[in-house]
Chains A and B, each alone.
Chain A
Amino acid sequence: LTTPTEPFDELLDWLDGDREAAGKKYETIRTGLIRIFVSHGLSDAESYADETIDRVTKRLPEIRPTYVGDPVAYFRGVARYVLREAIRKKEVAVEILPDPVIEPTKSSDMADCLKQCLGQLSQDKRELMLDYHVHEGQAKVKLHMEMAGELSISKGALRTRVHHLRSYLEECVLKCVAERGPKQNTRPPS
C-alpha cells in the first residue's frame, strides 16, 4: 500500500481505495458538476467545476478524519457555495440580456463547420445523424422506431448511439467555430 502524498492523490483515495474506480468517480463528479453549473445558467461551467474540486481538495486534510457519509454530498455542498458566490457576482455585474437564439445563416461559420465535421463521419453515421433529426412531432417517434428496427437495436440504444454521435459532432463544430475566431453573433460592448 502506498500512502497518498499529493493532495489530488488524497482526493482520489478518499473517493475510492481502488485507484481505477476512484478515477471513474472523479470523472463522474466533475461531469456532474459541469451539468449542475450549466443548468443554473452559469457560463464557463468547467472552471466552476474545477474551482469546486480545488476547494474540496484543499479542505480534505481537515475534514477527512471526521467526515461521515458519501463524499459526493460534500462536493455538492461546496458546489452550492460556489454557485451562490457566482450568482452574487453576476448580480453585481451589469445586467446583460440573454442573446436571442439566432438561426445561423447558410454561410455562417456554424454551417461550414457542421459540414466539415459531418464530413469526418462515415456515410452510415452521417445519414443516421441527419435522418434521426429530420422529423417533427409524433412522426419522429414512428421514424425512430423504424430506424431502430432497421438497425436491429432497441429505440433506447438508437437514442444513445445518436446522442454519442451528436456529442462528438457538437464538440467538433464548436471547436471549429472557436478556431475561426470571433463571430458576427458576438454582442458589441455596451
Chain B
Amino acid sequence: LLGQLDTENEERLELRLLTDDSFIEEFDTIVDEITDQYVRDELQATERQQVEQYFLKSTERKNKARFAAELLRAADERADEVADTSVKPVVPSKPGIFERLRSFWKTQSFAPRLATTVATILILVGVGSLFRTSTPTPENYKTINLTISASNRATGSKPETVKLSPETAGIRIELNLPNQTEPAKGYRVELKDEQEASRDLPVKEWNAQSVIVEVPANKITRGSYLIHLHVMNPDNTEQRIRGSYSFVVE
C-alpha cells in the first residue's frame, strides 16, 4: 500500500488479491484505516509522505480521502452533540459529612458534647501546627497537560487523573489548542463538573499552542470534569472549539 514491498512479496500479495475475497475485504479495511489515519493526522512524517506520494496517487484514493474527511467530521460532530445534550440521571444526593455530624451532634447529651468540643479544638490546633510547616505555595500546583478530544465523558478514553494531597495548592491546567485554531483575541475556559454545573476559570496565560488556567485546591473537589474552550474573536463574538478536555480529580 505504501510501495515498500519487494517483487516477491508484491507478487504474493497480488495473487491473493486475485483469488481470495476475504483478503480483498481485509485489504480494503486497511486502506480505510490508513486513509482515516492520514485524515486525522495520526501518521508520522515519513509515513505521511509515503501516503501522499504513493497511497494517494490515484483519483479513487483521493476521493476516498475526501469522503473519509467528511465522514470523520460528521462522526466528531455527533460525538459533540451527544456530549452537549447528555442528561445525567437525577440521583438524590447523600447527606454530606457536615449534615451527618450535625444530626449526630443533636442526639448527644451535654457531657459528651463538651468532651468532643475539647477534643476537636485540640485536633484542630495540632493539624494547624502541622499545616504551618507545610503551607501550600504557588509552586505546589500540580500541572496537567490536556489535549482536546471529540469524545464525551460517558464514552471517552481514560481521562488524565490528578491526585491532590494536603501539600497541593491547586491544579495548573495546560490546554493544548487544536492545530487549526485561528488566532484569537482571548479565550474563555468553562469547567463542568459531574452534575453539569459549569463555571468559568480565569485564564492565566495563553499563546498560539495552549491556554493555561489554574484552579486552587480548595475550589475543586473529587470527581470528573470537562472543560469547554471558547475562542473570543476579534469582533468580540465568541465561538466554542469543538470537543472537550477531560480530567479526574482524586
A: which residues have CB within 8 A of B? 25, 28-29, 31-33, 35-45, 70, 72-73, 75-76, 79, 98-99, 101-104, 108, 110-111, 114-115, 118, 127, 129-139, 142-143, 146, 159-160, 163, 166-167, 169-170, 173-174, 185
Contacts and interface: CB of A to CB of B under 8 A. Distances in A.
Interface of B: 1, 11, 14-15, 17-21, 24-25, 27-29, 32, 36, 38-40, 42, 52-54, 56-67, 69-76, 78-79, 149-151, 155-157
Given A72-B18, A137-B42, A110 B74 contact: no
Contacts of B42: 136-137
A118 B65 contact: no
B75 A98 contact: no
Contacts of B151: 134-135, 139, 143
Nearest to A35: B17
**Max count, chain A CB within 10 A of own CB: residue among B20, B65, B71, B79:** B71
Nearest to B72: A133
A185 to B, nearest CB: 8
A129 to B, nearest CB: 8
Given A38-B60, A45-B58, A101-B65, A110 B70 contact: yes
A73 B36 contact: no
A75 B28 CA distance: 21
Contacts of B73: 103, 111
A136 B149 contact: yes
Contact of B54 (A36, A41, A134, A137): A41
A31 B27 CA distance: 12
A130 B78 contact: yes
Contacts of A138: 157
B40 A136 contact: yes
A118 B24 CA distance: 25
22 contacts: A25-B19, A33-B18, A38-B61, A43-B59, A45-B58, A76-B15, A99-B62, A101-B38, A103-B39, A103-B73, A131-B75, A133-B36, A133-B75, A134-B75, A134-B151, A135-B150, A135-B156, A139-B149, A139-B157, A143-B151, A146-B155, A170-B64
B171 to A, nearest CB: 22
B25 A163 contact: yes
Contacts of A36: 14, 17-18
A43 B14 contact: no
A43 B28 contact: no
A114 B74 contact: yes
Contacts of A108: 70
Given A76-B11, A163-B28, A98 B78 contact: no
B40 A130 contact: no
A142 B38 CA distance: 20
Nearest to A169: B71
Contact of A44 (B59, B67, B74): B59
Contacts of A142: 157
A28 B59 CA distance: 22
A147 to B, nearest CB: 9
